[in-house]
Amino acid sequence: MPLILETIVTTLSPAGELHLVPFGLIGEEDGYVLAPFRPSPTIVNLETNPCFAASSPRDIRVIAGTVTGRRDWPTVACDAIAGRRLADSFGHAEFEVAAVEDHEVRPRFRGRMVHSAAHAPFIGYNRAQAAVLEAAVLSTRLHMLEPEKVLTEMAYLAIAVGKTAGPREREAWGWIEDKVAAALGPEARILGRDDR
Ligand SMILES: Cc1cc2nc3c(=O)[nH]c(=O)nc-3n(C[C@H](O)[C@H](O)[C@H](O)COP(=O)(O)O)c2cc1C
């Protein structure tokens, strides 16, 4: 399996509007591949404006927020492409689409990195942030996964959140719990339940 980096990808719509969503960048020898499942606004955008930025957010609420209807995060103009990137990130990279492998389910857009920059020191990993990231991915796959599996994984991930979260991580976790609970029922509210 290739290395996959979880990032916030920003693209521009045909009308020039910003689209900001989390995507895994698939590492390849000569660059990174973006592989959105159809149907996808990101695919439409890349077909019109074949470039994208990928940012590593410092605030994990950006990842949890984008999959729970909170997509209004501050951005700034990119340096080397027409587009915008997350304002508050550890770093970001800008890509031009160098090749497209079309596919009826999941086309692959091969990105050629044209610029990258670091913006803030990365001091250490945080288990709660990793747990929120995992839960955010789960929350985008509720239609594909057995409810039992989702609830078991949420219960396990909640341990790291309970032990190592700061206020942002706890808030982000709450957004994901709300989404999963709305789909699968109140058993998904593992930490929310303790707070009451
Ligand atoms: C960390 C993370 C990584 C994700 N990676 C992908 C991915 O590689 N491909 C994909 O289609 N969706 C991925 N998703 C789900 C998308 O973010 C979500 O479905 C989003 O709405 C897709 O953007 P779109 O609406 O422009 O297609 C990921 C979600 C998270 C939380």
pLDDT for 195 equals 47
The CA 38 to ligand 1 mean position distance, Å, reads: 11
Which residue owns the Cα nearest ligand 1 atom 20?
21
Q: Do the Cβ atoms of 146 and 128 come closer than 8 Å?
A: no
Q: Which atom of ligand 1 is nearest to the CA of 133?
A: 1
Which residue owns the Cα nearest ligand 1 atom 5?
23
Structural domains of the chain sorted by starting position, each given as residue range(s) with its CATH number in brackets: 4-118 (2.30.110.10), 127-195 (1.20.58)
Q: Which atom of ligand 1 is nearest to the CA of 137?
A: 31
User: Looking up tokens 């997509």, which residue turns up?
Assistant: 71
Find residue 32's DSSP bridge partners.
27, 111
Helices 167-184 + 127-139 axis angle, to 10: 20
Q: Which atom of ligand 1 is nearest to the CA of 42?
A: 26
pLDDT for 97 equals 98
Which residue owns the Cα nearest ligand 1 atom 19?
140
Q: Which atom of ligand 1 is nearest to the CA of 37?
A: 11
pLDDT for 155 equals 95
pLDDT for 187 equals 83
d(CA 35, CA 110): 9
Q: Do the Cβ atoms of 143 and 156 come closer than 8 Å?
A: no
Token couple for 61 = 């609420």
Binding-site residues, ligand 1, Cβ < 6 A: 6, 19, 21-24, 35-37, 40-42, 63, 67, 133, 136-137, 140
pLDDT for 188 equals 82
Which residue owns the Cα nearest ligand 1 atom 11?
36
The CA 9 to ligand 1 mean position distance, Å, reads: 9
The CA 62 to ligand 1 mean position distance, Å, reads: 13
pLDDT in tens, the chain (196 residues): 899 999 999 999 999 999 999 999 999 988 899 999 999 999 999 999 999 999 999 999 999 999 999 999 999 999 999 999 999 999 999 999 999 999 999 999 999 999 999 999 999 999 999 999 999 999 999 999 999 999 999 999 999 999 999 999 999 999 999 999 999 988 888 888 644 4
The type of residue at 41 is: P
The CA 85 to ligand 1 mean position distance, Å, reads: 17
Provide the whole-model pTM. Answer: 0.95
